[in-house]
Amino acid sequence: KQEVTQIPAALSVPEGENLVLNCSFTDSAIYNLQWFRQDPGKGLTSLLLIQSSQREQTSGRLNASLDKSSGRSTLYIAASQPGDSATYLCAVGVPHSGTYKYIFGTGTRLKVLA
């Protein structure tokens, strides 16, 4: 059974720091991996999608990597800002009943201090 873990559960950093969020999964048979941002009481905003054949994706100050063989993905945030404060969730797309579904981690709650 696929399980997704995110460590740490919470992180507090001063503004300007580069930081790395971790996501690990137990079964390497995934279609893709997606990183989301969630602000308190809000829906999820997609940040980056990495297909299973890809190693990384970049968008602005964000870079996500994927290592299927080791069951790991990292989200790198450069030059963090207070506006980056949110919960970051990763999800893996896995086969299910002839199609696919997403399995989510419990998230990393990030606070960037001004």
Partner 1 sequence: DGGITQSPKYLFRKEGQNVTLSCEQNLNHDAMYWYRQDPGQGLRLIYYSQIVNDFQKGDIAEGYSVSREKKESFPLTVTSAQKNPTAFYLCASTTLGETEQYFGPGTRLTVT
Which residue ranges make up the site for partner 1 (CB under 8 A)? 4, 31-32, 34, 36, 41-46, 49, 51, 89, 91, 93, 97, 99-107
The residue among 29 and 79 lying less far from partner 1, judged by its C-beta, is: 29
In this structure, what DSSP letter does residue 68 have? T
Question: Residue 37 Cβ, how far from partner 1 at the closest point, in Å?
Answer: 11
CB of 114 to partner 1, least distance (A): 27
The sign one gets for the Cα dihedral 43, 46, 51, 54 is negative
**Tokens representing 110?**
């990030």
- In the bound state with partner 1, the residue whose beta carbon lies nearer, of 12 and 45, is 45
CB of 81 to partner 1, least distance (A): 23
Work out how close the CB of 17 gets to partner 1 at its nearest, in angstroms, rounded to a whole number.
26
Nearer to partner 1, 84 or 88 (CB): 88
Tell me whether the omega of the peptide bond preceding residue 8 falls within 30 degrees of 0, making it cis. Answer: yes
**For residues 32 and 63, which CB has a smaller minimum distance to partner 1 in the complex?**
32
Q: Give the CA distances from residue 88 to residues 6, 38, 60, 95, in Å, rounded to whole numbers and listed in that order.
A: 9, 6, 16, 23
CB 52 within 8 A of CB 59: no
Inter-residue contact 45 to 59 (CB < 8 Å): no
